[in-house]
Structure formats: structure tokens, C-alpha cells
């Protein structure tokens, strides 16, 4: 009986050793594949976030284009508020350059009535004359 018991223990120990060796081989074979899969998954997540940011930037560009392309009044408002180009008595014309881009140019109204020249203030004339004496 002791020989058969020792033989059974040896067989069981051998099976356990073979199982552990197979597990170790599988671990060392599958570890690089798992690392590659992990890197690929990270790259896919990063690519997805970059795609979303690109799409949001495209949407922002389209919104900006739509805001400017509504009507010529938008150009006039933009020029008045942000660029201080146009005064209330002037009009803005939208022209196209050689490449087809919009150019904003300001010019006076054609049908604008000319106002009479203002007469100089007599007090200012006298004051300027007095100041010229001391120069």
C-alpha cells in the first residue's frame, strides 16, 4: 500500500506541475497580446474623443458661418459693434474679392443730403485770437 500511495502522490504532483507549467506558458504567451489589446483600446478611446472634438469644432464653424450669412445687416452690426467701422449715417457694402471671400467696405450713402457747413462760434474765434497774441 505505501508504494501505491506514493505512486498516487507522485502522479498527482506531476499532474499539478504540468497544470502549473501550462498556466505559466499561457500567461507568458497571452500577456503581450493582452497588452497590445489594452494599447489598442486606449488608442480607440483617444480616437473617439478626437473625433468628437473635431465634430464639435465643425459644428462651431458651421454655426459661425450661419450667424454671418444670415443677411447683410449682420455684417453691418458686426462692423459697428466690434470693428467700429460704420457710423450711423454710412452704409456697408459686401463685395467679393478674387477668391470669392466677402470684403466689408464702408462708404457714404449716395443719396445723403449734404448738411450745411456750420458757422464758426464767435466766442471760439475770439478766444483763439486772444491765445494767438501770446504765442
Task: Assess if residue 75 is contained within a domain.
Answer: yes
Looking at the structure, do residues 91 and 59 belong to the same domain, yes or no?
no
Residues 43 and 105 in one domain: no
pTM here is: 0.34
Domain of 25 in residue numbering reads as 1-69
Q: What is the pLDDT along the chain (135 residues), one digit of tens a residue?
A: 457 878 888 888 999 999 999 999 999 988 888 888 888 888 889 999 999 999 888 888 888 777 666 666 666 676 666 665 655 555 555 566 666 665 554 443 333 344 445 677 888 888 888 888 886
Pull the grid cell for residue 18.
504540468
Q: Give me the DSSP letters along 60-83.
A: HHHHHHHHHSS-HHHHHHHHHHTS
Structural domains in the chain (count): 2
Amino acid at each position: 500500500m505505501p508504494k501505491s500511495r506514493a505512486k498516487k502522490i507522485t502522479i498527482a504532483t506531476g499532474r499539478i506541475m504540468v497544470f502549473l507549467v501550462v498556466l505559466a506558458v499561457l500567461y507568458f504567451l497571452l500577456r503581450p497580446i493582452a497588452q497590445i489589446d489594452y494599447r489598442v483600446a486606449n488608442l480607440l478611446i483617444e480616437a473617439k474623443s478626437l473625433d468628437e472634438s473635431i465634430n464639435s469644432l465643425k459644428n462651431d464653424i458651421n454655426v459661425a458661418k450661419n450667424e454671418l450669412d444670415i443677411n447683410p445687416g449682420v455684417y453691418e452690426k458686426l462692423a459697428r459693434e466690434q470693428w467700429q467701422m460704420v457710423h450711423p449715417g454710412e452704409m456697408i457694402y459686401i463685395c467679393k474679392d478674387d477668391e470669392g471671400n466677402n470684403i466689408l467696405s464702408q462708404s457714404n450713402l449716395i443719396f445723403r443730403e449734404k448738411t450745411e457747413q456750420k458757422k464758426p462760434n464767435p466766442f471760439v474765434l475770439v478766444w483763439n485770437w486772444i491765445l494767438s497774441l501770446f504765442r
